[in-house]
Amino acid sequence: MQHRTLTLNYLELDSPSDLPAQDLELLHSARNAAIDAYAPYSGFRVGAAVLLDDGTVVKGNNQENAAFPSGLCAERVALFAAAAQYPAQKVVAIAITAISREGEINEPIPPCGACRQVMQETESRTGQSLRVIMAGNAGKVIILDSAANLLPFAFTFKISPNES
Ligand code: THU
């Protein structure tokens, strides 16, 4: 029997204003996306902005539905939209933020497990590390150089893809 330990490397900043310009711009896009989220049921508006290799930014926000499971998280809306519209582009970074019905959120908003799984496969599919930037409107910021750090023991079993 072996006891093993996983180490998680990430950066923590005191405030969004400490971010490098490109990350801050991406976070602003995520905030704009959050403002436009369709979240009448939870009142929790999440915004994500994805930066592609060529500088294109694709925004996503959570989309809810009266038939609850029919909705989708902001991160997957953004990542799937990017893959659909720019299939040849690598995804370099994703910024995530949220606004609550109760007011501003001033802490990082980590993505749910399903979104982590999609981020992980985005990385493996494109061979490009995905930088993840999480922040509220103010307060500390968390940055990971790779989405793989968010999902140890990810499901990576590959069923042989059909030729297409
Ligand atoms: N949500 C996201 O958009 N991203 C996450 O990573 C977690 C949760 C959304 C789903 C739902 O519309 C609302 O936040 C409340 O859970």
135-159 per-position pLDDT tens digit: 999 999 999 999 999 999 999 887 7
Active site residue ranges: 75
Among 99, 86, 84, smallest CA distance to 36 is for: 99
Residue nearest to atom 10 of ligand 1 (CA): 73
- As a whole number, mean pLDDT of residues 60-89 equals 98
Q: What is the average pLDDT value for the chain, to the nearest integer?
A: 96
Q: Could you tell which of 62, 72, 151 is best to mutate to test the pocket of ligand 1, judged by most ligand atoms within 8 Å of the CB?
A: 62
Rounded to the nearest whole angstrom, what is the distance from the C-alpha of residue 139 to the centroid of ligand 1?
A: 20
The fraction of the chain above a pLDDT of 70, given in percent, is 98
Residue nearest to atom 3 of ligand 1 (CA): 73
Model pLDDT, residue 164:
58
Q: Per CATH, the architecture of 21-152 is what?
A: 3-Layer(aba) Sandwich (3.40)
Rounded to the nearest whole angstrom, what is the distance from the C-alpha of residue 157 to the centroid of ligand 1?
A: 26
Q: Is the pLDDT of residue 107 over 80?
A: yes
Phi-psi region of 60 (alpha: psi -120 to 50; beta: other; left: phi over 0): beta
Model pLDDT, residue 160:
73
CB 141 within 8 A of CB 13: yes
Model pLDDT, residue 70:
97
Bridge partners of 47? 61, 97
pTM for the complete prediction?
0.95
SS3 147: helix
The full set of domain ranges for the chain reads: 21-152
Q: Is the pLDDT of residue 162 over 80?
A: no
